[in-house]
Every structure is written in structure tokens, then in C-alpha cells.
Amino acid sequence: MIPVQGYSGKTVAVLGLGRSGLATVTALQAGGANVIVWDDSPEAADKANDAGVTLRDLTKQGAFTDVAALITSPGIPHLYPEPHPAIARAMVEGCPVDNDIGLFFRSFATGEWDNFETIPKVIAVTGSNGKSTTSALIYHILEEAGRPTQLAGNIGRGVLDIDEAHDGEVIVLELSSYQTDLARALTPDVAVFTNLSSDHLDRHAGHGGYFAAKRRLFAEGGPDRAVIGVDEPEGNYIANQLSEGPADDRVIRVSSGTKLGGDGWNVFARKGFLSETRKGRQVASIDLRQIAGLPGAHNHQNACAAYAACRSLGIGPRVIEQALHSFKGLPHRSQLIAQRDGVAFVNDSKATNVDSAAKALAAFSKVRWICGGLEKEGGLEALLPAPTVVKAYVIGREAAAFAMKLKGLDVEICGDMKTAVTKAAADAQSGETVLLAPAAASFDQYDSFEKRGDDFAEQVASLS
């Protein structure tokens, strides 16, 4: 646990008693704060009692008279589409609002670090797609290289729930736009931007607001080194803003599909090969084509970003290459579930938006595509014409409406996962892939994308 610094003897309010909220309560108490809490759920009083804190309705006038700060859970809106009443009240009454990410960055370093031979570092990863795989891959490489490391944030443990740093340790954080948007302190040593596509538009009032939330990781604290995916204009913009010139190696540019030139530090993948260049010369090359845990161009981009982050810490190319080969991938992200009679069954339930689904479809040559769910803003046009799709099998409560937007594709409306898997498996020929890549959120039928992916795996396992 990371005891929170700066609030000893002060009253701090915590909004939301989920996983991150409860970890925040414990960390604040460890730092000597007097903690009060509010949660909208009917079980709030029981949660507060179990945490040993006072429940106070933070939506009422005067609730923040004696409060030094309000710490809110990332999932609670603070601005768009409208602020939670407690956050609105805090802002009206002049109480600073922060989240657990801000508390982490202000509390992670301690006086004990003066005795360390190597100061601990923080690598923070953000972006629309691939940030979980990139974060997990960086963590895996560090472990394989013998570096002490912890993985936290939007993946693994909460940031305040990790152990206090060891000498030379590297903390890897996956940070969502919800987490970067509000944090009052963002000071990673290495910051990674994977890519950008439209997502969470209601929470950020559009594409520009979503990008602004991601950009804060680079603009607020100024990382010592930045690894930037430059396959979209936004990535090029961040790289340009941070760089003092073409040869400024504080910025490592990353691409999947484009050969990057110039005198800067570049890592890119083309035709399945990763290349690192510095000052116009190739430094290293890795064949990614046979790495089972990283299939497709989108995973090659993840590999490039993870490679660049680890190279910035001085880890050698051959050590990284060995670690890439032993990486097993993450559940629900291009996860090979089974192979039956020459047909592969792949679970990419995390492909919840159009861009991530398109990349998943492009990773395979002939796809029986299971898709559908709670459609996000922006439509499905960017997925089409989907040349690798042999047939689409649509699930979800609004399957018929979703199917109508897949113009030009052979489509069958299935409604539920069992029907989709059964029909896709019956139709599939040897050499084809039955791929779950929904291009939609799961909440119309499932509590989470993980539950949806688990159902897909169970249905595949039950095939006769």
C-alpha cells in the first residue's frame, strides 16, 4: 500500500466505494487523514461501516465546510455529460477534486529513496486501444529482464494498493482517459501513447475532449521520455509538442505499417518485422510473425510501444526479443480459445469500439465474425467493407438494427452467444477463424466485456 502524503490530520472525502475507492480510503488512513465517504448505492452504509469510516451525504449544501479534498473514483463523471451532484457541490464550495492517480503521483516518492542506489521509475501507458496489452507486455519484459516491477492502474491492482517501491523498481501503470482527465498530479518518468480512436465520447463531450484527456499525461508533468504512436494526427501532434527537433531522442516515435525515417529515435513494424533506428541507422530488428501471443498488426504496434519503453530503460534488444516470445497474451484480447478441425476460435471481447474491431478483423485472412452489442457513437462505417469477413453473426438486444448497418456483408442475426457460436462453428471451413470482436459495448447483455468473452469461451468448449 502507498500511504497518501499531505493530508495528515485533515479531513478528506472519498466518493465511490468500489475497488479503487476502498483502496483510497485505506491509503488515506495510513497517511493520517480523517476520511469520510459517500456512495450512491443502497449498501453504502454497510461499506462505510466495514471500512471504519463515516458516511456523509456529500450532495448537500455545506458538506465540504471542513473537507481538504474530494477524491472521486474514475468511473464517476466530473464534467460531462454532467457532474455527479457531490462533485458539483465540491466545486461550488471550492473543495479541490482529485482521484487516486493524483494521490499516487504525489505520494509514491518517499525519503527512503535517498538510500536507494537506483531511483524507482514509473511507466504510464494510455491510448484508445492496446494499452492493456502494452502495459502487460512491458511488465512481462521487465520481469524476464530481472527488474523488480509491479503492474497497476486500469489493469491489475489499484495504484494505491501496490507495495511501496523497492530499490530500482519500475511501476507500470495503465491509465484510462477517465483516470488522466482529473488527476492533479501526473509525473511519470516514461509516458506511452499507443493510438487514438473515438471512444467514451459522451464522457468527454466529443473526440477533442477525449484527446485532451489523454494528452494531459504528457502536458501536465513532462515525462523524461515519451513513446508516441504516430499513426494518427493526434500522436504526431503530441510528438511535435514534446520534441525540440528531429534528433531529440527524448521522444521515441512508434508506428505499425509505416517506415519512420530521420535522425530521431524510431521503432516501427512493417510486414511483421520490428525495426529500431537511431540517427538514421538501424539498431535492431525482430521478426514478430511467429510470436503467438502477439498476432496481427495491432499487436505489432503494441510490441513496438513496449519495446521502445523498455529500451528507454536500457534493456537490450535480445533480452526484449526473448521476452516477446514467452508472452502469452491477455484474456479477451486476440486470445486463441481453441482449434477444431483446422478452425481457430479467437476471443477479442475487448474489441469494444470500431477501430479495435477493425484491427482484429485485419489480423486474420478468413473470418466468421461474431459481433454486436451496445453500439457506441460514430457508427460502423469505418469497419466496412471488411474484406476478411466471410460472414457476420450478430448478437445483442438490438441485433437486427446492428446487422442492417453491416452493408455489403453476408449477415445472420443470432441474438445470443450460444446461437452465434453454434452457427459460426457449423459454417466454418478449415483455415478460417471464428472471431468474437463485437465492435460494441457489452452492457446490453453482460456486466462486462470479460463476462462476454467468458461466455464465448464456454460456448466454444460446449461444441459437440
For residue range 411-443, what is the model confidence (pLDDT) as tens digits?
999 999 999 999 999 999 999 999 999 999 999
Q: What is the pLDDT of residue 298?
A: 87
pLDDT of residue 197 exceeding 90, the answer is: no
Are 294 and 329 in contact by the 8 Å Cβ rule? The answer is yes
Per the annotation, does 154 bind a ligand? no
- Whole-Å CA distances, 324 to 194, 288, 401, 459: 18, 8, 41, 30
pLDDT tens digit sequence for 209-238: 999 999 999 998 789 999 999 999 999 999
With a pLDDT cut of 70, the percent of the chain lying above it is 100
pLDDT at 404 over 80: yes
How does 45-74 read in b/e, with b if 16+ C-beta sit within 10 Å?
A: eebbeebebebbebbeeebbeebbbbbbbb
Q: What is the pLDDT of residues 206-217, one digit of tens each?
A: 889 999 999 999
Task: State the number of CA atoms in the 13 A half-sphere of 293 facing the CB.
Answer: 18
- Is 418 labelled a binding residue? no
Packing angle of the helix pair 417-427, 449-461 (nearest 10 deg): 50
How far apart (Å, rounded) are the C-alpha atoms in residues 149 and 190? 14
Query: Is the pLDDT reported for residue 106 higher than 80?
Result: yes
Cα distance between residue 446 and residue 400, in whole Å: 18
Domains of the chain, each with CATH number or no CATH: 11-98 (3.40.50.720), 107-326 (3.40.1190.10), 335-461 (3.90.190.20)
Single-letter residue type at 108: F
pLDDT score for 333: 85
Q: Is there a binding annotation on residue 279? A: no
Known binder of ligand: residue 316?
no
The answer to pTM > 0.75 is: yes
CA distances from 67 to 26, 93, 110 (A): 17, 10, 25
Summary mean pLDDT of the chain: 93
129 belongs to an annotated ligand binding site: yes
**130 has binding-site annotation:** yes
pLDDT at 51: 82
Residue 81: is the preceding peptide bond cis (ω within 30°)?
yes
What's the grid cell of residue 396?
445483442
Count of other CB atoms within 10 angstroms of residue 398: 16
Q: Is 347 annotated as a binding residue?
A: no
Over residues 255-272, mean pLDDT: 94
